[in-house]
């Protein structure tokens, strides 16, 4: 830029000097002074190419301009014209101001020299015509342009200097970061891998950063594993970056260091370089190893705890088996009422202790991560109804309405863990019945989300019980937590149930929560995810009668029951009406008869205020009800004491609440003489809460019992006393194997935890003996106090056919013996009770 300004000044100075060297109209000639002026300008321009010129360009330029101004002024004075001086001054001012990066002080000095030369020429030479005005105007413009140029140049220079300063600061910051980084930063060329720079953190590896420049990592011996080096090069070449690559590097002293590498390819100084960050993860690895060791220690502790809990479970269940079994036998003997009260206390408290033990076991397995959900096809309707049926007797004793409602959009056939779902429902239903003194308990199942192959269901257990205070709701699902201490004293319980519910629901992919108002009841809700299963072929054909066109009337004082019955009947095509009491039912039936559209089906609740269901049925039969109208009684308790009244009212069937869908439609099919299509699903054996155990008619069996507890040997002998079974009992597995080798048995009852030889080893030896001698398969039933899934699997792996968990009762023992020794038979469906 400076050199260009010099050139412009010199060329324009020569041009104007030659152009104005003589008066107009006379031959043009160049004087010696003008030639000297031009020569000085050319020499000044040539001086700008000297190596040292940049350091002294301002004094040199000032001197050159001073000489040119002096010579130009002399020429103007000698020639008697101010025109050359004016034009030269203008050019000098503009050239230096616009092209040379002057500071304002230098520009002011330059302009002062030019102005002094022009003033001297102007004073010494007389004015010609109007040239004075133009000369003054030119001087003002030249000065303004010069100062404007210098100011613009100054701003440009300051901006450039600021940019350069910021760049230097940025570079300084980056350098400080580079030098202060605890991680090693290496910069190498992508083409040959040679290091360009290395951060001081490299000294931690024993290397001087300066000595590494120009060498490769391979030459420096940094790589401890050549395969890792090849992987590093491959990733950098293929992707241009590496986020995290775990490698092992070598220090200068030969020790190995686990490191984590991150790299990126970028352009530095016109060539592609690899910027690599190396982090020493020795402490991280040590922490990881410590965590792994702690985890293994925790797993061992958990395994030890699980083993302890399993052993404790066995040790508790084994004597409980004898206590509860003998107490059950006592109830079958002649006892006074006081004695029966004592035995019932034994049975009740024993059952409570068993429930507590089961809760502790479940919680232990969940916390140790040993509880794994199964995926089994099951019938949701059957499961829900049977879960509610378990508490039917207890609800009846408290005069509670217990009902289940499954909305139409809920798929009946699911795939999941029915055992755990049933456990959650039983816990919530049990709490609802326990904490409700009057009103109702309602279990509702709705579909919340899902597609064709999956479904998220929402279960709700609503009660009209004591409710939960707002300040207790948040911790109701905690361990050992109840609404308050008075609740625990009055109703009992460990406070573990809801915590287990919450954890099981989370395992099923859902969540549990509660909505409650103290004194008005609670609604416990939870969601769970299931796969949607396909119905068996026979089930697709139905099993429920077609009620299309059938008019039905539901009479029940509880609105919840009316809604449930209406949904059930409507799903089969019936047209349903409902009323809340007997008088309203009589009026509605009479109205329908007069209008010529009588009801074909009438469902009557037995317990209603003012007029019970039997009385309503009797009046209907006597007055407005046609002969062919089917009337079905719905009762929360047994109707044994009312059978005579029912026969007088012309009633033939009744159903015990909670109402099961299958029972309802089976009863209606019989009353309407409509044959239902075959049902597919085998019904689960009924709960002992609703039906007394039935002793199966067994053929004579020879049974071997291996049991170390004398009380339990006595109990099993008592269970089999009234059968045709012949029992041989031994105290341990070794004796059982010896007996097995010398005699044939129809079944073996094997306690799995015994001294000398446990049941697992004994079962394996028995199976080996059968294989070696080509003997037939003898059923082995595992008897154990460990009810976990793992215990069942271990027993099956040892060769056992079935598992019977302690404590067991007589019915359970006889049922399992019947199952393993007899040919499987088709189960009989449960039907509505007939009036005889």
The number of folded domains in the chain is 5
The answer to the question of residue 578 being in a domain is yes
Contact assessment for residue 510 and residue 526, using Cβ atoms and an 8 Å cutoff = yes
Rounded CA-CA distance 405/443 in Å is 6
Q: What is the pLDDT of residue 293?
A: 92
Q: In degrees, to the nearest 5, what angle opens at C-alpha 634 toward C-alphas 630 and 636? A: 170
Mean pLDDT, range 315-322, rounded to an integer: 78
- Residue-wise pLDDT for 30-47, tens only, equals 444 455 555 655 665 566
Do 601 and 724 belong together in one domain? no
pLDDT higher than threshold 90 for residue 51: no
User: Does residue 332 sit within a domain?
Assistant: no
Domain contains 360: no
Q: Lowest mean pLDDT of 153-167, 446-460, 735-749, name the range.
A: 153-167
**Do residues 508 and 577 share a domain?**
no
Q: Judge whether 794 lies within some domain.
A: yes
In a domain, 366, yes or no: no
> Residue 169 to residues 159, 174, 430, 784: CA-CA distances in angstroms?
15, 8, 75, 79
The answer on 712 and 663 residing in a single domain is: no
| CA pair distance 217, 207, nearest whole angstrom | 11
| 206 contact partners, CB below 8 Å, separation of at least 6 | 251, 252, 253
To the nearest whole number, what is the mean pLDDT of the chain? 78
Q: What percent of the chain has pLDDT over 90?
A: 23
In this prediction, residue 494 has a pLDDT band, given cuts at 50, 70 and 90, of low
Based on the domain organization, do 660 and 736 belong to the same domain?
no
Residue 199 belongs to domain with CATH number: 3.30.450.20
What is the average per-residue pLDDT within 596-621?
Answer: 87
Same domain as 144, residue 90: yes
Q: Residue 264: which residues within 8 A CB-CB, separation 6 or more?
A: 240, 241, 242, 274, 275
Is it the case that residue 489 has pLDDT exceeding 50?
Answer: no
Note whether residue 345 is domain-resident.
no
Show which of 540, 569, 597 is a domain's final residue. 540
Residues 24 and 136 in one domain: yes
One domain, residues 454 and 520: yes
Same domain, 492 and 598: no
334 by Cβ neighbours in 10 Å (0-12 / 13-18 / 19+) ranks as exposed
Shared domain check, 657 and 585: yes
Question: Among residues 540, 566, 583, which one ends one of the domains?
Answer: 540
- The tally of CA atoms less than 13 A away on the side-chain side of residue 739 is 22
**Co-location of 645 and 790 in the same domain:** no
Which domain, by its residues, includes 92?
2-160
End of a domain among 516, 540, 564?
540
pTM above 0.95, yes or no: no
Residues 787 and 715 in one domain: yes
Contact 61, 3 (CB under 8 A): no
What's 805's domain CATH number?
3.40.50.2300
Q: Which tens digit of pLDDT belongs to each residue from 320-375?
A: 878 888 888 788 788 888 888 888 888 877 877 777 777 777 777 777 666 778 88
Q: Residue 456: pLDDT band by 50, 70, 90 thresholds?
A: very high
Poorest-pLDDT segment among 201-205, 346-350, 516-520, 819-823 = 819-823
557, part of any domain: yes
Which helix (H) or strand (E) element contains residue 85? helix 83-99
Comparing 338-347, 418-427, 548-557, which segment has the lowest mean pLDDT? 338-347
Greater confidence (2 vs 300) lies with: 300
Q: Is the backbone peptide bond immediately before 658 cis, with ω within 30 degrees of 0? A: yes
Point out the least confidently predicted range of 367-376, 398-407, 589-598. Answer: 367-376
Q: Residue 540 phi/psi, 5° resolution?
A: -65, -25
Q: Which of 375, 529, 373 is nearest to 453 (CA)?
A: 529
Res. 609 pLDDT band, cuts 50 70 90: confident
Q: Are residues 779 and 711 located together in one domain of the fold?
A: yes
Q: For residue 650, is it within any domain?
A: yes
């Amino acid at each position: 830029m400076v050199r260009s300004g010099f050139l412009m000044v010199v060329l324009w100075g020569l041009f104007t000097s030659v152009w104005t060297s003589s008066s107009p109209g006379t031959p043009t000639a160049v004087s010696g002074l003008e030639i000297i002026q031009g020569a000085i300008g050319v020499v000044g321009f040539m001086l700008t190419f000297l190596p040292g010129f940049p350091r002294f360009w301002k004094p040199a330029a000032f001197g050159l301009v001073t000489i040119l101004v002096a010579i130009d002024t002399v020429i103007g004075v000698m020639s008697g014209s101010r025109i050359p001086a004016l034009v030269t001054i203008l050019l000098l001012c503009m050239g230096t101001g616009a092209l040379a990066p002057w500071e304002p002080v230098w520009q002011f000095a330059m302009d002062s020299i030019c102005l002094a030369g022009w003033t001297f020429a102007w004073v010494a030479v007389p004015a010609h015509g109007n040239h004075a005005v133009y000369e003054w105007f030119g001087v003002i413009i030249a000065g303004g342009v010069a100062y404007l140029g210098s100011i613009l140049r100054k701003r440009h220079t300051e901006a450039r200097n600021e940019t350069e300063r910021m760049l230097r600061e940025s570079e300084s910051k980056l350098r400080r970061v580079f030098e202060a980084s605890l991680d090693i930063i290496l910069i190498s060329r992508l083409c040959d891998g040679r290091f360009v720079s290395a951060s001081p953190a490299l000294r931690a590896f024993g290397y001087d950063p300066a000595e590494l420049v120009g060498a490769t990592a391979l030459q420096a011996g940094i790589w401890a594993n050549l395969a890792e080096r090849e992987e590093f090069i491959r990733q950098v070449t293929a992707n241009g970056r590496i986020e995290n690559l775990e490698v092992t590097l070598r220090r200068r002293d030969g020790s190995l260091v686990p490191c984590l590498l991150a790299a990126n390819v970028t352009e530095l100084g016109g060539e592609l370089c690899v910027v690599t960050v190396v982090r020493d993860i020795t402490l991280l690895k040590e922490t990881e190893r410590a965590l792994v060791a702690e985890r293994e220690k925790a797993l061992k502790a958990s395994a030890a705890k699980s083993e302890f809990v399993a052993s404790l479970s066995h040790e508790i269940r084994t004597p409980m088996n004898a206590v509860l079994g003998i107490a059950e036998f006592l109830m079958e003997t002649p006892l006074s009422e006081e004695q029966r009260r004592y035995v019932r206390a034994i049975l009740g408290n024993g059952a409570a202790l068993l429930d507590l033990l089961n809760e502790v076991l479940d919680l232990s397995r969940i916390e140790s991560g040993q509880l794994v959900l199964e995926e089994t096809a099951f019938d949701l309707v059957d499961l829900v109804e049977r879960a509610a049926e378990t508490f039917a007797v207890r609800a009846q004793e408290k005069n509670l309405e217990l009902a289940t409602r499954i909305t139409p959009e809920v798929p009946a056939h699911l795939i999941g863990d029915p055992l755990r779902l049933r456990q959650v429902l039983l816990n919530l239903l049990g709490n609802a019945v326990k904490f409700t003194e009057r009103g109702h308990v309602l279990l509702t199942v709705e579909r919340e989300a899902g597609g064709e192959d999956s479904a998220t269901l929402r279960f709700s257990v609503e009660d009209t019980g004591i409710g939960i205070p707002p300040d207790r709701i948040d911790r109701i699902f905690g361990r050992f937590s109840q609404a308050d201490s008075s609740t625990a004293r009055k109703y009992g319980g460990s406070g573990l149930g809801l915590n287990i519910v919450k954890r099981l629901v989370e395992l099923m992919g859902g969540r549990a929560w509660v909505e409650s108002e103290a004194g008005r009841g609670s609604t416990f809700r939870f969601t769970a995810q299931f796969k949607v299963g396909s119905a068996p072929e026979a089930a697709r054909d139905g099993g429920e009668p077609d009620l299309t066109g059938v008019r039905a009337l539901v009479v029940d004082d509880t609105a919840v029951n009316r809604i449930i019955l209406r949904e059930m009947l409507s799903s089969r095509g019936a047209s349903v009406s409902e009323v809340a009491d007997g008088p309203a039912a009589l009026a509605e039936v009479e109205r329908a008869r007069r209008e010529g559209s009588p009801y074909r089906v009438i469902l009557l609740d037995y317990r209603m205020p003012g007029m019970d269901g039997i009385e309503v049925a009797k009046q209907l039969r006597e007055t407005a009800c046609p002969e062919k109208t089917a009337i079905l009684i719905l009762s929360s308790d047994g109707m044994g004491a009312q059978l005579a009244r029912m026969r007088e009212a012309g009633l033939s069937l009744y159903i015990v609440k909670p109402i099961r869908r299958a029972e309802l439609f089976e009863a209606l099919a019989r009353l309407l003489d409509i044959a239902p299509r075959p049902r597919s699903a085998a019904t689960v054996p009924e709960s002992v809460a609703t039906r007394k155990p039935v002793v199966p008619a067994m053929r004579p069996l020879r049974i071997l019992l291996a049991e170390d507890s004398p009380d339990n040997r006595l109990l099993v002998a008592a269970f089999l006393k009234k059968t045709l079974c012949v029992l041989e009992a031994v105290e341990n597995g070794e004796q059982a194997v010896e007996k097995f080798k010398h005699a044939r048995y129809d079944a073996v009852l094997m306690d799995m935890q015994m001294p000398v030889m446990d049941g697992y080893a004994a079962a394996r030896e028995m199976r080996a003996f059968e294989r070696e001698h080509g003997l037939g398969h003898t059923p082995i039933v595992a008897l154990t106090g460990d009810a976990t899934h793992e215990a069942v699997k271990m027993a099956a792996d040892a060769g056992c056919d079935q598992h019977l968990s302690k404590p067991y009762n007589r019915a359970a023992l006889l049922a399992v013996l019947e199952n393993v020794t007899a040919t499987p038979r088709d189960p009989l469906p449960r039907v509505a009770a007939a009036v005889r």
